[in-house]
């Protein structure tokens, strides 16, 4: 069977099983098996797959047809141009979260320039690090920064440490196991706190796409009855570890902008930005604390 025949037949198979962009999904799986860039497939349409290659592709397509995420099947995903390992222990980073990372590194770089020569380096806290995507991106983009990355899941932290080592920033990220701010080492403070916490209302989890509902870890999805439990906690507790002039930046779900803003304002935060993602949905909040 040729590359083109595999693409056509497998795309039809995935389409019947409700997989979005089935041809793209097949091409990515096939490129993974053949160790080619995806666009390289177009130069090899007439190539005949070996029996071993064909068996491997069939197995991966079968798994994708069962709605296992593509990122889990190939074992990694791209985030801000960085290849990161992912598995069932961590939330697969969403494309919109790259914007939160960008907001964070822009602020930290400006902050680093402003305090150049100060006794303490700029520091950031990643609240609920998961795969480590935010912490690692900040470390890569802000060479002067020291990062603390907290997560309650030891399995998630193992993935994050692997990713930090892959990108050679493990020496500037301190991974800490524990429940939120209680895990922050005593005496530490930060110029920036970033968080993409769970924000799905508990009752809505069963309505999510199978790729999310059945494969992402439930604790990384469940934001409580209204999806807002972690924002209340962030608004109430984050100020205690934020340096003067520092910022908190969070991602939230569709329709949650006003509720999240209200939570922070009631705790004496000045909300500086509520920004949309690239699809136009309000998605990010940045605030400073009035002390």
Q: Using one digit for the tens of pLDDT, what is the confidence trace for 212-265?
A: 999 999 999 999 999 999 999 999 999 999 999 999 999 999 999 999 999 999
Same domain (yes/no): 171, 120 = yes
- Residue 74 placed within a domain: no
pLDDT at 115 > cutoff 80: no
* Closest alpha carbon to 102 in 289, 275, 280, 279: 275
What is the side-by-side order of every strand in the sheet holding 173-177? 173-177, 146-151, 123-127, 190-195, 242-251, 282-289, 269-276
- Residue 76 placed within a domain: no
| pLDDT score, position 113 | 85
pLDDT at 120 > cutoff 90: no
Q: Domain range spanning residue 150? A: 89-289
**Alpha carbon distances (Å) from 249 to 102, 164, 223, 281, 288:** 11, 21, 17, 16, 9
Boundary-marking domain end, from 66, 81, 108: 66
Same domain (yes/no): 9, 107 = no
State the average pLDDT over residues 129-141.
Answer: 98
| pLDDT score, position 119 | 63
- Alpha carbons 244 and 16: distance in angstroms, whole number: 55
Same domain (yes/no): 234, 161 = yes
The two tokens of residue 66 are 């069962």
Same domain (yes/no): 119, 18 = no
pLDDT at 117 > cutoff 70: no
Q: Do the Cβ atoms of 57 and 49 come closer than 8 Å?
A: yes
Stated pTM of the model? 0.93
Same domain (yes/no): 270, 155 = yes
* CATH code where residue 227 lies: 3.40.50.150
DSSP assigned state of 78: E
Same domain (yes/no): 100, 238 = yes
pLDDT, mean over the chain: 95
Same domain (yes/no): 110, 12 = no
Q: How many domains does the chain have?
A: 2
Same domain (yes/no): 178, 276 = yes
Q: Is the dihedral of CA 56, 61, 67, 73 positive or negative?
A: positive
Q: Do the Cβ atoms of 206 and 154 come closer than 8 Å?
A: no
User: Strand ranges (DSSP E) for 99-215?
Assistant: 123-127, 146-151, 173-177, 190-195
The helix (H) or strand (E) run that includes residue 288 is: strand 282-289
- Residue 16 placed within a domain: yes
The contacts of residue 194 (CB under 8 Å, 6+ apart) are: 100, 101, 104, 124, 125, 126, 127, 134, 138, 248, 249, 250
- Residue 81 placed within a domain: no
pLDDT digits (tens, 9 = 90+) for 67-103: 999 999 999 999 999 999 999 999 999 999 999 999 9
Instruction: Give Cα 16 distance to the centre of its chain.
Output: 29
| pLDDT score, position 216 | 94
- Residue 155 placed within a domain: yes
Q: How far separated are the first and last CA of the chain, in Å rounded? A: 68
């Amino acid at each position: 069977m040729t590359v083109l025949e595999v693409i056509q037949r497998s795309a039809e198979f995935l389409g019947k099983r409700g997989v979005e962009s089935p041809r793209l999904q097949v091409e990515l799986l096939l490129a993974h098996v053949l160790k080619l860039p995806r666009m390289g497939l177009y130069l090899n349409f007439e190539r005949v797959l070996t029996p071993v290659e064909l068996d491997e592709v069939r197995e991966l397509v079968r798994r994708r047809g069962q709605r296992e995420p593509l990122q889990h099947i190939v074992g990694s995903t791209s985030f801000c141009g960085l290849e990161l390992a992912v598995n069932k222990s961590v939330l697969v980073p969403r494309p919109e979260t790259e914007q939160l990372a960008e907001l964070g590194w822009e602020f930290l770089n400006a902050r680093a320039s402003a305090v150049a020569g100060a006794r303490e380096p700029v520091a950031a806290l990643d609240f609920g690090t998961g795969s480590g995507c935010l912490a690692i991106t900040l470390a890569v983009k802000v060479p002067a920064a020291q990062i603390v990355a907290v997560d309650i899941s030891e399995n998630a932290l193992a993935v994050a440490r692997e990713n930090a080592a892959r990108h050679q920033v493990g020496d500037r990220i301190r991974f800490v196991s524990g429940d939120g701010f209680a895990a922050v080492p005593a005496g530490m403070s930060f110029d920036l706190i970033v968080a993409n916490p769970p924000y799905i209302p508990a009752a809505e989890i069963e309505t999510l796409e199978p790729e999310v509902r059945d494969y992402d870890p439930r604790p990384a999805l469940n934001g409580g009855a209204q999806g807002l439990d972690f924002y209340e906690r962030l608004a109430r507790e984050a100020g205690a570890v934020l340096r003067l002039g520092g910022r908190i930046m969070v991602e939230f779900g569709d329709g949650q902008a006003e509720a999240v803003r209200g939570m922070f304002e009631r705790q004496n935060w000045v909300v500086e930005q509520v920004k949309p993602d690239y699809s136009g949905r309000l998605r990010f909040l940045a605030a400073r604390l009035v002390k």
